[in-house]
Amino acid sequence: MKKAIIGKKLGMTQIFTPEGLVVPVTVVEAGPCPVVQVKNTEKDGYNSVVVAFEKQKAHRVNKARTGAFKKAGVETFRIVKELRFENAAEYQLGQEIKCDIFAEGDKVDVTGTTRGRGFTGVIQRWNQHRLKMTHGTGPVHREVGSMSANSTPSRVFKNKHMPGQYGVERVTMQNLSIAKVDTERNILLVKGCIPGPKGSVVTIREAKKA
């Protein structure tokens, strides 16, 4: 990976192409992300860059991170993330990574945390069908249904789709396109939808399988 950035999902909108086609896009506030630490093969065993995002009041940051921010000569931030850059040696402490590293038409992978839906049933969680509405079925028609035989195996098999917590999962959507780059406002417009609710933090990197 040679380029990536941290951003915040602001919501969705639509833009028009020169041909008059409507394109749905997700608006992401991408960076600027100052470099807090540079890791190399000699000292750490691998190359990477530690970057920060979204400013935070100093009294809300622990001492370890405060020391790292002071060493890099930057303000205090809320989000700190490590990016495995192959060209990490090219970066300096305090250097800012901005959205202009991407260009219109670039293919990217976007990683985020999906919206939490709480405790849900099998229909919403696993897209199962409801039970028959007639012939003695019920009184609940949205339940799981048959679990297993009584005598053999006399238990419920592992990994059976059951009700439970749904959402709040780390998801990566691959091969999305950059529709527009606004360097003045640090905005990236990504074609289509990306994981997470409004205000959630996402990571945008160059596509692995482009």
pLDDT tens readout for residues 166-176: 999 999 999 99
Tell me: pLDDT of 146 over 80: yes
How many C-beta neighbours within 10 Å does residue 178 have?
21
Q: What is the overall mean pLDDT for the chain?
A: 89
Over residues 104-127, the pLDDT tens digits come to 888 999 999 999 999 999 999 999
Between these two residues, 194 and 31, which has the higher pLDDT value?
194
pLDDT of residue 200: 92
pTM of the model: 0.81
Please report the domains of the chain, with CATH numbers, ordered by start residue: 4-115+170-206 (2.40.30.10), 117-145+157-166 (no CATH)
170: β partners = 113
What number is the average pLDDT over the span 177-193? 91
Tell me: pLDDT of 164 over 90: yes
d(CA 100, CA 116): 32
Over residues 6-37, the pLDDT tens digits come to 999 999 999 998 888 999 999 999 878 888 88
Tell me: pLDDT of 89 over 80: no
Any idea what DSSP says for residue 166?
Answer: -
Between these two residues, 88 and 209, which has the higher pLDDT value?
209
- Of 17, 1, 178, nearest in space to 106 by CA: 178
